[in-house]
Amino acid sequence: MPWAMNDAASARGVPHPGPCDCGSATSDGDPDPVTAAAGMGQVVRGFVQFPPGPARHLTRLRISLRRIDLADAPAVTLACVDLPDVVVPSAGHVPFALPLPPEVAQVVARHSAGVTLAVRAHADVDGSGQVQVGDLVSTTTTLIATDSPAPVTITVQPVTG
């Protein structure tokens, strides 16, 4: 199985099967990959890297896994996790664990030659859920290797107006 990552027992955060763009079937007919937290066994782990500066408080840090290889279609969110009330230390990085529904591994297995997955982050300062001035977001594509358990680093930058 290509998702030979760590178990979800120590995952920090709240698996979010609802309103963070999750919940729709992929455009190629795959079943809805978002399920309840029960049964989640594989985890994408890593760090969100923040710009240098003093410690700061975030209302929410949202990490999402997206399938980005669908031609002429927007990325599809396969899984996401919200980390509430995060304090970013002055060292500038916050660990995360993103539990994956079992269906994600099935999608990868079914389309092994052509699945490209990436993670993204939104550091929500005021809790609005919308990207606003003052929030921090990932601005580069952070790919997930489907055959490697290596942790990933997502770099975020401030949204300016």
The matching CATH number, chosen from 2.60.40, 3.30.450, 1.10.287, 2.40.160, for 8-25+39-158 is 2.60.40
CA distances from 72 to 49, 69, 119 (A): 31, 9, 20
The encoded tokens of residue 115 equal 């699945």
Q: Please say whether the beta carbons of 65 and 77 come within 8 A.
A: yes
pLDDT in tens, 71-126: 888 888 989 999 999 999 887 899 999 888 888 878 777 876 678 889 999 999 98
Q: Please say whether the beta carbons of 136 and 156 come within 8 A.
A: yes
The reported pLDDT for the residue numbered 112 is 62
Kindly list the domain boundaries of the chain, sorted by start residue: 8-25+39-158
pLDDT in tens, 32-71: 223 323 334 578 899 999 999 888 899 999 999 998 888 8
**Taking residues 6-24, what's their average pLDDT?**
35
pLDDT in tens, 127-154: 899 999 999 999 999 988 776 668 999 9
Q: Please say whether the beta carbons of 119 and 142 come within 8 A.
A: yes
